Amino acid sequence: MSFWRYLKDRKLVLVGWVVFVLLTAFVLWLSPGIGLDWGTVGYLALMEGVLLVIMLVYNYFSKRIWWQKLELKADQSAMQNYLTGARSDEEELQQTFINQVIREHQSMMQEIVAGQEEQKDYIDSWVHEIKVPLAASQLLLRSMEFDIPDDKYMMLENELGKIDGYVEQVLYYSRLDNFSKDYLIRDTSLKEVILPIIRSNANYFIQRNIRYEVVGEDQNVLTDGKWLGFILQQLLSNAIKYTPENGKVTITIEKKVKGVALTIADTGIGIPAEDLRRIFDKGFTGQNGRYSEMHSTGLGLYLARNLAHQLGLQLTAKSATGVGTQMQLYFPYLAYYQDKK
């Protein structure tokens, strides 16, 4: 706190000093044996003013150390360390109050963290438990392949695939905060990640007569293949979902000066311009997800953007209504890795 701000907070003290000087002059004027000499009044006012300034300056510098502690605590992690060093009853009262707030905050945060950990453990357990009957249902469906009509079989397989996709979203969403504990960066072939994802979506390509093409030579990038596969699955499933029959999905791998770009482009319905800037927001479905037959959870692109950021990748989108959408993942080169090569 500056000295001028300190004086501003002491306005009543300054007003009291003026009142005291006027009261002194009034007492001198009322005294019968003492004549009112304005020179004497001015001299008293000067002495009292000097004394007041000395007291204010001393009080300011004695409190300044305490205020600096409070300012430093506000700039740092205020709720992690307790406040110490009170030298007066007033400072002791402030210190006690602040430390009580810190204790309550830490206790509350511990409860929240414990609750989140319990919730995460439950979700992880639920995901692994649900995968057992889901896998059993898929095996049972395959055993019935020749006993039911092909269209019914494909519909059931698609629905089971959707359930599996939603379960994966829940699993990766629960792991988002603990990403740093579950990733392995290594030299990864992009086509080795892309092709299995395309094969897993073969039914959708066939049923809707959507063609796909992989353009460009394979490139190796430094990333985590598992998390990258989930990101590409979200992008590809969106491309298929919003591309009408007889459409096309093109996956392009392009080597650039400072990195590698992987683009998934479709000939779908496109994203309205007013929705494009919000498609990566959590829970945002937009006009396409709200009014089209293809329902959206609003989590796929949110997870894709967050995981891409965690991996050090850039995920961008371009789209035009009625023309299609392009989602691009950019893998920047690591300077030290390139130097070694």
Residue 113 parent element (H or E):
helix 89-143
Residue 137: predicted pLDDT = 87
Tell me what the mean pLDDT of segment 293-319 comes to: 85
Last residue of a domain, one of 76, 101, 135: 76
Residue 294's nearest CA partner among 199, 164, 162, 151 is 162
Does any domain span residue 232? yes
Together in a domain, 62 and 197: no
Together in a domain, 186 and 322: yes
Residue 255: predicted pLDDT = 92
Residue 228: predicted pLDDT = 93
Together in a domain, 199 and 63: no
Sign of the C-alpha dihedral computed for residues 200, 238, 301 and 306 taken in this order: positive
Chain centroid, CA 12 distance in Å:
47
For the residues of 125-168, what is the DSSP string, one character each? HHHHHHHHHHHHHHHHHHHTTTTS-HHHHHHHHHHHHHHHHHHH
Residue 251: predicted pLDDT = 95
Together in a domain, 66 and 189: no
Together in a domain, 188 and 70: no
Computed over every residue of the chain, the mean pLDDT equals 82
Question: Does residue 43 or residue 301 have the better pLDDT?
Answer: 301
Does any domain span residue 114? no
Number of domains in the chain: 2
Chain centroid, CA 196 distance in Å:
31
Does any domain span residue 298? yes
Residue 336: predicted pLDDT = 44
CA 155 to CA 130: how far, in whole Å? 20
Q: pTM (2 decimals)? A: 0.63
Does any domain span residue 127? no
Does any domain span residue 137? no
Does any domain span residue 21? yes
Residue 213: predicted pLDDT = 93
Last residue of a domain, one of 57, 76, 95: 76
Does any domain span residue 331? yes
Tell me what the mean pLDDT of segment 202-226 comes to: 90
Domain extent, residue 232, equals: 182-340
Residues of the chain with pLDDT > 70: what percent? Answer: 88
pLDDT range class, residue 341, cuts 50, 70, 90: very low
**Looking at residue 297, which CATH number applies to its domain?**
3.30.565.10
CA 38 to CA 31: how far, in whole Å? 14
Last residue of a domain, one of 76, 93, 125: 76
Tell me what the mean pLDDT of segment 240-262 comes to: 92
Does any domain span residue 326? yes
Alpha helices in 177-333 (DSSP H): 190-200, 202-207, 225-241, 273-276, 286-291, 300-310
